[in-house]
Amino acid sequence: MKTECIGDYVKLNEKTYPCTVSLTMDLVGGKWKAVILYHLRNEPKRYSELRKEMPSVTEMTLSLQLKQLEKDGLLSRQVYGQKPPVKVVYSLTDFGKSFTPVLEAITEWGNKVVSEKGEFLSK
């Protein structure tokens, strides 16, 4: 069954897109957004935990991507305490959790590609 965008354009949060694929890629596209969502899919994590799981992302990029994902409603940022150092925990919102099946499909497809055309490496 072929799935098509229902309208000529779509609008979300005052932004207009030519199709739902464009909207989706704006929300989760780029090198790190889907990776961040993947690492938060099972449990909330602190910034430092995310950095350890994604060592090749720069601090500035991670910070900017977290802010964008929060702004778009895919994750929430909970601050504990009032004096530094405060504890900040990131978790998926219900909207963010709704993307989990897509993340699982991406992971499955990636595993298949590596199995057929590449190789899995250990540290």
Q: Is there a domain that residue 80 lies in?
A: yes
Domain limits at 58?
A: 32-116
Q: Is there a domain that residue 53 lies in?
A: yes
For residue range 86-119, list pLDDT tens digits in order: 899 999 999 999 999 999 999 999 999 999 999 9
Q: Is there a domain that residue 102 lies in?
A: yes
Let me know whether 64 and 81 are in one domain: yes
As averages over each run of 10 residues, the pLDDT of the chain (123 residues) reads 76 90 92 97 96 95 97 96 90 98 96 96 86
Let me know whether 108 and 50 are in one domain: yes
Let me know whether 23 and 40 are in one domain: no
In sequence order, which residues have a C-beta less than 8 Å from that of residue 10 and are 6 or more positions away? 16, 17, 19, 20, 22, 23
pLDDT of residue 5: 74
Domain count, the chain: 2
Q: Is there a domain that residue 122 lies in?
A: no
Let me know whether 40 and 68 are in one domain: yes
* The residue type at 109: W
**Dihedral sign computed on CA atoms, order 12, 13, 18, 22:** negative
| Spatial contact of 19 and 3, defined as CB atoms under 8 Å apart | no
pTM, two decimal places: 0.88
Let me know whether 9 and 62 are in one domain: no
